[in-house]
Structure 1
Amino acid sequence: MQLSEILTTSCTSCDVAVTSKKRILERICQLAAIQITDIEQDELLDSLLNREKMGSTGIGNGIAIPHGRLPNTSKAVAVLITTEKAIDFDAIDNRDVDIFVALFVPENSCQEHLDTLQNIAKLFSDKKMIKQVRKCNDNQALYNLIQQAS
């Protein structure tokens, strides 16, 4: 599944002012809760924190792809956030992170989950794309960029 298929404008946010890993994960869950109405925001956060306990989802170059599996849901949801300032996210390259692409998927959709993560990683491996994302200072422009890129 492509990011453009599961990202909505309400789950896209530019230049968010956060200062910690926990705060960005909370903000991600706040936005995701708009789309995932049958699961509490705390449960969304738990799914991300449980995944982070296994190892950071900071993939390098200032990008993180936090993700979690959810029981009792049937659709995948993505959240895209850029931050005002990069924050420490324990990324594999030890660089701070300013682009967050979060993914919530149904618990039993393992292959779809892996395919979507791979597509997101591929999209954000393009240095030109990363530069364009960082230049966006408007939620709609960021959303449109992702729609055009996919």
Structure 2
Amino acid sequence: MELADILAEDAVLDCTGLTSKRQLFEVLSDKASEITGMDRNEILASITGREELGSTGLGNGIAIPHGKLNGLKDVTAVFARLDEPIDFDAVDDQPVDVVIMLLAPVGAGADHLKALSRVARLLRTESVIDQLRTETDRKRLYTMLTTSLEDSAAA
């Protein structure tokens, strides 16, 4: 599964002025609702419910909040880069500034896991993370996220 299959170009956000995980989740939920047609509050409840089980902050300033929704047709992603890192209760206690939210239909176990794996692999590549943090053009961010992992890692 490629990110281009689940990430729309207008789902790449450059977020400014956010100071909390809750604010971030609201922005992500608003965008996901716009893209999927799903109810914003259901999306918000799904990702906050998952977050209550344990932080999705992976460390190194990266988080992959995720949830499952009844009625969602396909796995969907929203990328956000924050101008200022926020506390995320990450495993390394470092604030987060690079986020990819994943939403999956209930019962889409394999697809959900493939998407999580794909995103985690991409975000483990230090050169990719450095580029995602410094790139200012949203179209270029989208291209970086949706090209093959090998191409991105080599860039």
TM-score, L = length of structure 1: 0.95
Query: Are 1:14 and 1:138, in contact at CA under 8 Å, matched by a contact in 2?
Result: no
Q: CA deviation at 1:149?
A: 3.8
The aligned amino acid for 1:89 is F
Q: CA deviation at 1:115?
A: 1.4
RMSD (Å), alpha carbons:
1.1
Q: For the residues of structure 2 that align with 1:121 and 1:66, how far apart are their CA atoms?
A: 11
SS at match of 2:147: helix
The aligned amino acid for 1:127 is E
1:44-59 alignment runs, 5 A limit: 44-59=43-58
SS at match of 2:18: coil
Name stretches of at least 5 consecutive residues in structure 2 with no aligned partner: 150-155
Report what 1:19 is aligned to. 19
Q: CA deviation at 1:136?
A: 1.4
Write out per-residue CA displacement over residues 30-72 of structure 1, whole angstroms, 9 at most, x where no aligned residue.
Answer: 11112111x2100000000000010000001100000000001
Report what 2:123 is aligned to. 124
Q: Which has the higher contact order (CA 8 A, sep 6+)?
A: 1
Q: CA deviation at 1:86?
A: 0.4
Query: Are 2:2 and 2:146, in contact at CA under 8 Å, matched by a contact in 1?
Result: no
TM-score, L = length of structure 2: 0.92
Count of aligned pairs between the two proteins: 149
Find runs of 4+ consecutive structure 1 residues off by over 4 angstroms.
none
Query: Are 1:15 and 1:137, in contact at CA under 8 Å, matched by a contact in 2?
Result: no
Q: CA deviation at 1:96?
A: 0.2
Query: Are 1:13 and 1:81, in contact at CA under 8 Å, matched by a contact in 2?
Result: yes
The aligned amino acid for 1:77 is T
Q: For the residues of structure 1 that align with 2:112 and 2:2, how far apart are their CA atoms?
A: 11
